[in-house]
């Protein structure tokens, strides 16, 4: 969703028993529509165009940056910043609504650098997962 049109990604679940599954907005552009786990249209690491229903972007939350005096509930916490996850096709954001994850409209659309959330359910923290390869015990035989 940035002004360069790059930075989209797919969200892949680690349980790949039935193949690679990604978060998909199922073609809906309506607020409060559910998202689902669906078979990827193109392998996530492929170079080139994928299905825009399965493409997402992480946006900075911008409800405080330019006018701190008006900021009543900053998204920054002791654990780090919050972000919004936006679907490429719909422009809607992932949100927690009760016990479901749905798409919702943000308070305002992206300006290319940041978005304003409509509620706290639209705010997400993103943490890297470190996966290490198993170590091999290589011994010399004489």
Tell whether 105 is covered by a domain: yes
Q: Which residue has the tokens 């993103």?
A: 126
Of 48-52, 119-123, 136-140, where does mean pLDDT reach its minimum?
Answer: 136-140
Tell whether 72 is covered by a domain: yes
Tell whether 58 is covered by a domain: yes
- Using the predicted structure, report yes or no on whether residue 60 has a pLDDT greater than 50: yes
Q: Which domain does 92 fall in, by range?
A: 21-122
- The two structure tokens encoding residue 26: 């199922």
pLDDT digits (tens, 9 = 90+) for 73-126: 555 555 667 888 999 889 999 999 988 999 999 988 777 777 888 888 998 887
Tell whether 130 is covered by a domain: no
* Mean pLDDT score across all residues of the chain: 76
Tell whether 49 is covered by a domain: yes
pLDDT at res. 92:
94
Number of folded domains in the chain?
A: 1
Q: How far is CA 133 from CA 40, 62, 73, 127, 130, in A?
A: 25, 38, 41, 19, 10
């Amino acid at each position: 969703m940035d002004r360069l049109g790059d930075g989209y990604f797919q969200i892949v679940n680690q349980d790949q028993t039935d193949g690679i599954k990604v978060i998909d907005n199922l073609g809906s552009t309506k607020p409060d529509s559910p998202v689902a786990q669906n078979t990827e249209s193109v392998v996530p690491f492929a170079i080139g165009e994928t299905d825009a229903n399965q493409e997402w972007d992480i946006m900075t939350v911008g409800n405080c940056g330019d006018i701190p005096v008006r900021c009543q509930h900053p998204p920054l916490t002791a654990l780090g910043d919050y972000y919004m996850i936006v679907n490429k096709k719909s422009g809607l954001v992932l949100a927690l609504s009760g016990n479901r994850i749905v798409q919702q409209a943000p308070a305002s659309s992206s300006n290319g650098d940041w978005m304003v959330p409509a509620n706290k359910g639209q705010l997400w923290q993103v943490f890297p997962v470190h996966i290490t390869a198993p170590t091999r015990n290589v011994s010399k035989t004489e």
